[in-house]
Amino acid sequence: MQPLFETRECRKGRVAYSLFAGTIMAAICAIWLYRIQELMSGQGGRSWACIGMFMAELWFSFYWIISQPVRFKVCRHSTFKERLLTREDKLPGVDIFVCTADPVMEPPIMVINTVLSAMSFNYPPDKLSVYLSDDGGSQFTFYALLEASNFSKHCLPFCNKFIVDQPRNPEAYFAQVINGNADHLSQELLDIKKKYEDMKNRIESAITKGSISKEIRDEHDGFSEWNDQVTKQNHQSIVQIIIDGRGTNAAEKEGCDQLPTLVYMAREKRPGWPHNFKAGAMNSLIRVSSEIDNGSIILNLDCDMFANNADSIQEALCFFMHEKSGHEIAFVQHPQIFYNTTPNDLYSNNMHVIVQVEFAGTGSYDAAMYCGTNCFHRRESLSGRKYLKDYRWNSDIEAKKKAGKTSQELEEASKVLANCSYEKDTQWGTQMGLIYGFAVEDVVTGLTIQCRGWKSVFYNPKRAAFLGMAPTT
């Protein structure tokens, strides 16, 4: 079978870099010689200040030397997603996790733009589920997600019909298209834009008013979860399956295409129980999604990172489904690229050298770092499984648990999994799921997965797979 991806070593600039690296190495050797001579001569070189300087220089030398193999072996992957068509019957279920924590700092309208971009991936909707974890436990975020689910019935068919290579985040798409030539705007585009703007106004006016009207609350039972006692830090688990993607769903009944499953989750929060920030949210999502869909691939997106390429799932699968080495790969990390950087990227948000040299270089050794958002994971390795030589991926493992259960039954069963006490005396946060106790839970989790024998890929496609919003001050 033809391979699903290929890897090329980048040799551009190698000679210039070798010259540069040579001069640094010569300077390092000269410093060592100088320090050793000073130490031997018994003069000022033995003072604590000089010894301290020497230690710092040795540390730099060590860092510099071990970083050279990475910088001298920068590779780039390309994928052949058309070849996946021959393996289509085996496409795995994909669960997308979007995390948000605060409805003020992360406005619900931005969050649902990310959710909509994730729902509109070019992937069979019955194999795709999008989960929103709301650590803010906010009814406004829930309301915005309900609005997004209604809007998706119009927006997804529109995307499939008209949007080829633009972002499928409505806000970014309209900004890009409308800024172009307004004369060519079709009626469909104007209609969908109007629907989007009406939705945005409804959400923003509810937030400004600080309450959700009775008519809206009556439209969905889910609002009954919010009462006067519910605060951000003190509330029960809330799981609401807003769109149940099984079989014929509401959209199809209304004559639209089938939609992916859409779930809202706010894990339980109680004073005195550690919530472990994003790592805690992710672990609850792993469990809740395993009850509902159990897709064998998980994609995590921060709420300010939207999908910019509808084919990114297929591209990532080219690594996981690669016949020769796919079963060894635990995760495929994409870089964080920002669309709103200042001219010349003054604050270096896009971290060009780190992304294009260091991340790509570590990726060449099958050891890409896990950097939180924009990462596709194999569910098994993220959940704590060790890699064993005879491991082969069985994409049929998606349990058919949900078959025969109603949405309400699934919701009730999953709420328990998002309770504070669920993790007590378990290996969650130490051996299973994302690792707790670190500010950079992603990096530590990635290293833990690699220590269990798995490999990882850094994939930086020409067209950015995800785009985010960067701080510009």
Ligand X SMILES: O=c1ccn([C@@H]2O[C@H](COP(=O)(O)OP(=O)(O)O[C@H]3O[C@H](CO)[C@@H](O)[C@H](O)[C@H]3O)[C@@H](O)[C@H]2O)c(=O)[nH]1
Residue 302 is assigned to a ligand binding site: yes
Closer residue to ligand X in complex, CB, 167/372: 372
What minimum distance in Å lies between the beta carbon of 470 and ligand X? 9
What minimum distance in Å lies between the beta carbon of 214 and ligand X? 30
What minimum distance in Å lies between the beta carbon of 304 and ligand X? 7
Closer residue to ligand X in complex, CB, 133/364: 133
Closer residue to ligand X in complex, CB, 101/410: 101
Spatial contact of 381 and 448, defined as CB atoms under 8 Å apart:
no
Q: How far is CA 257 from the centre of its chain?
A: 26
Closer residue to ligand X in complex, CB, 91/132: 132
* Residue whose entry in the numeric block shows the structure tokens 């040795």: 58
Closer residue to ligand X in complex, CB, 327/334: 334
What minimum distance in Å lies between the beta carbon of 443 and ligand X? 7
> What would the two tokens of residue 373 be?
């958002």
Catalytic-labelled residue, pool 244, 293, 304, 442:
442
Residue 415 is assigned to a ligand binding site: no
Closer residue to ligand X in complex, CB, 97/123: 97
Q: How far is CA 425 from the centre of its chain?
A: 28
Q: How far is CA 341 from the centre of its chain?
A: 20
Closer residue to ligand X in complex, CB, 135/225: 135
What minimum distance in Å lies between the beta carbon of 464 and ligand X? 15
CB-CB neighbours of 428 under 10 Å = 23
Q: Output the DSSP codes for 279-348.
A: HHHHHHHHHHHHHHT--SEEEEEETTEEE--TTHHHHHHHHHT-TTTGGGEEEEEPPPEESSPPGGGTT-
Tell me, what DSSP letter sits at residue 385?
P
CB-CB neighbours of 44 under 10 Å = 9
Q: Which residues, including other chains, have CB under 8 Å from residue 10's CB and lie 6 or more apart?
A: 74, 75, 76, 360
CA-to-CA separations, 119 to 4, 95, 128, 207, 212, in angstroms, rounded:
24, 10, 8, 24, 25
Strand partners, 69: none
Residue nearest to ligand X (CB): 372
Residues comprising the chain, all counted = 473
Q: Interface residues with ligand X (CB under 6 A)?
A: 99-101, 106, 133, 135, 277-278, 281, 302-303, 372-373, 440, 442
Q: Is 126 a catalytic residue?
A: no
Pairing of strands 238-243, 261-266: antiparallel
Torsion angles phi and psi, residue 5, rounded to 5? -150, 160
Q: Is 293 a catalytic residue?
A: no
Residue 106 is assigned to a ligand binding site: yes
How many CA atoms are closer than 13 Å to the CA of 273, on its beta-carbon side? 17
Residue 135 is assigned to a ligand binding site: yes
Pairing of strands 337-338, 466-468: parallel
SS3 231: strand
What minimum distance in Å lies between the beta carbon of 15 and ligand X? 35
Spatial contact of 5 and 319, defined as CB atoms under 8 Å apart:
yes
Catalytic-labelled residue, pool 95, 135, 293, 304:
135
What minimum distance in Å lies between the beta carbon of 350 and ligand X? 13
Q: How far is CA 289 from the centre of its chain?
A: 15
Residue stretches of the annotated binding site: 106, 135, 278, 302
Binding site residue list for Mn(2+): 278, 302
- Which residues are designated catalytic? 135, 442
Residues that constitute the known binding site for UDP-alpha-D-glucose = 106, 135
